[in-house]
Structure 1
Amino acid sequence: MSILTIKLLLIAFTGVIAGCNNNQSKSIESSNESRLTKNTVKDCAGEHSAEAKLRTVSIVPQFSASRIHSDYWPLLTEIGKRTNICFKLDQQKSIPSFEVGLKSGAYDYAFMNPYHQVMVSDIYQPIIRDKQRLLTGIIVTNKGSNINSVQQINGRTLLLPAPNAFGASLLTRAYLDKKNIKFNPKYVKTHQNVYRGVARDSELIGGGVNNTFNRESDELRSNLSILVETPGYPAHPFSALKELPPEEIKNVQNAWIMIAKDSNSKDLFRQVQIKIPIKANYNQDYAPLKNLRLEKYVQ
């Protein structure tokens, strides 16, 4: 056998081996994609067909991730089925972490506080809000404490969920600032932590909002008193990333409204703090918040 023939045989053999390896690699990649798809289906709420669009949703972490998941999953499932979308919850452990995602447009949809919407109005548009419910900031005390006037807050520790929580922190801090009352802020991540901290310690005071306070158990609320309540403003919007297809945004918005017309769906909306969903309008509902001049308190 000539040297040229041997070389040609070696080249052919090498090609066969490479082809087998490539086929094996493609098989592995295909298998991985299949597993990823199956896992994604398990992790998202809504339509699970091959044609469904996968979208991320993040909810401002006023409560624990497990509670947010149980509250939102049923409604997102129903919306997704009507819009051919599967919603994947992308929950953050703290409000500051949630804000980082908002500012970078990391979520396709988000439930955010009113001032968040002002902060990211160039990235997100509000599409749904509650028709009747207004958001108020509240300052709560332990019912067993001797604190019965705002002046007694001076020099005390005030529990707050996060620096930029609209009602719980921005509104309450602005209120106390106007009264020239100094306090020591302590940020404890969630509204739940604020209420539980004040309920355990009669020396503490906390900032929250009417909506989250009213969702706490009767037992917890029986240990707390509302010392101050601010004026009300349109509550948290459910907002969409402006880069999404306009038709999709409109379909999601309409799905909220249509589902709400079903009397059997009331529990779905009560759980997500939007009892009577209506279409939101940024200029009318949230732009006026700029006049509150809260930017001096934003961190």
Structure 2
Amino acid sequence: MNRLIIVIELCAALLAGAVSPAKAAENMSYTIAVIPSVPTVTMHTQWTPLLEWLTQKTGIRFSLKLFERMADFEREIGEGNPDFIFASPIQTVVAHQTHQYIPLVRGGKAIAIGVFVRKDSPFRTLDDLSGETISFVGNKNLCSVFVRHMLAKREPPLIFASNYAGSTRNVIKSVLLGKSSAGAVFIPELERELEANREQLRSVIETPKIAPHPLSAHPRVPFNVRERVKSALLELASLKNGAELLRTVRLPSPVAADYKNDYQSLELIDIRELTDWGR
């Protein structure tokens, strides 16, 4: 009888000290690494309110990892260090291939890229741009990588010179000033340009639409944590001020992301060759 009591007391003590998976998640801190797009001070200001809300909603603590250089961000992805990453579709493909990162949510609107010229330009088709200069934001920019891959794989491949202008505005200026024969930018960004400038441009082609940047999780992050983060972000869009928080971090009108449907087709791109990955 005494032995039975001891066993019962021992089991009770173990149960009292046990921590549920949900409670364990609350006691952990997960890193979220964000693609560098603006100065780190600005990114901190943009992302901190969202992460504070996520912590309050889920009980899970998050640590923000920011980078000044794209190469450092890509190196972190390559090493699989961050628990969560907010990365471009191209970087998401590499993250999935190397460490099986799982896309959770993405912005709800897929976007196309436009290749455009001056309205008074003689260039009417892609073939007309053979041997000409095309401006892009940068060699690692999704718009640039997608278009350069597309032009290299068409029949016959388009031979052209690339100019990396550093920003969407500079790409447009380069075309307007005649420094480049054509430019390639995302359609929504072109639509935000001054009407007076847009009226001087003419579209040559628009690419198929691409799913935007997702928030992805490393598979070591427990399933229940991934699901709580995903559900919280999807819920946030319907709350007061939630849409603005999400728009600020480039997750407008979020929807559930799916690697196979949204990003797997990008595996055809020679990402490391076109982007000088990690350099």
TM-score by length of 2: 0.71
Match of 1:17 in 2: none
- The answer as to 2:76 corresponding to 1:101 is yes
Aligned mate of 1:125, from 87, 94, 102: 102
What is the deviation of 1:188?
A: 4.3
Quote the Cα distance in structure 1 between the aligned partners of 2:49 and 2:119: 36
Q: Classify the secondary structure of the residue corresponding to 1:206.
A: strand
- The answer as to 2:145 corresponding to 1:182 is no
Match of 1:115 in 2: 90
Match of 2:21 in 1: none
Q: Classify the secondary structure of the residue corresponding to 1:234.
A: coil
Quote the Cα distance in structure 2 between the aligned partners of 1:218 and 1:106: 44
Q: Deviations over 1:150-189 (max 9, x none)?
A: 33422222222333433x1232123323153211123345
- Residue segments in structure 1 that go unaligned for 5+ positions in a row: 1-49
Trace 1:209-288 onto structure 2 (pairs within 5 A): 209-214=186-191, 224-288=201-265
Pick which of 67-76 and 260-269 moved more: 67-76
What is the deviation of 1:70?
A: 4.7
Trace 1:135-214 onto structure 2 (pairs within 5 A): 135-142=111-118, 147-166=123-142, 168-177=143-152, 178=154, 180-191=157-168, 193-199=170-176, 201-204=177-180, 205-214=182-191
Quote the Cα distance in structure 2 between the aligned partners of 1:280 and 1:194: 30
Contact 1:142 1:224 survives alignment (8 Å): yes
- Give the residue type in structure 1 aligned to 2:265: P
Q: Deviations over 1:5-63 (max 9, x none)?
A: xxxxxxxxxxxxxxxxxxxxxxxxxxxxxxxxxxxxxxxxxxxxx967262321253x5
Greater relative contact order, per chain length (Cα 8 Å cut-off, separation 6+): 2
Q: Classify the secondary structure of the residue corresponding to 1:120.
A: helix
- Give the residue type in structure 2 aligned to 1:157: T
- Residue segments in structure 2 that go unaligned for 5+ positions in a row: 1-25
What is the aligned residue count?
Answer: 243
Pick which of 203-212 and 233-242 moved more: 203-212
Distance 1:197-1:91 versus aligned 2 partners, 3 A rule: farther
Quote the Cα distance in structure 1 between the aligned partners of 2:172 and 2:81: 30
Match of 1:78 in 2: 53
TM-score by length of 1: 0.67
Quote the Cα distance in structure 1 between the aligned partners of 2:52 and 2:194: 26
Structure of higher CA gyration radius? 1
Quote the Cα distance in structure 2 between the aligned partners of 1:268 and 1:226: 33
Quote the Cα distance in structure 1 between the aligned partners of 2:80 and 2:170: 28
What is the deviation of 1:211?
A: 4.2
Quote the Cα distance in structure 2 between the aligned partners of 1:72 and 1:152: 44
Q: Among all aligned residue pairs of Structure 1 and Structure 2, give the percentage whose two residues are the same amino acid.
A: 22
Q: Classify the secondary structure of the residue corresponding to 1:274.
A: coil
- Give the residue type in structure 2 aligned to 1:235: P
Match of 1:88 in 2: 64
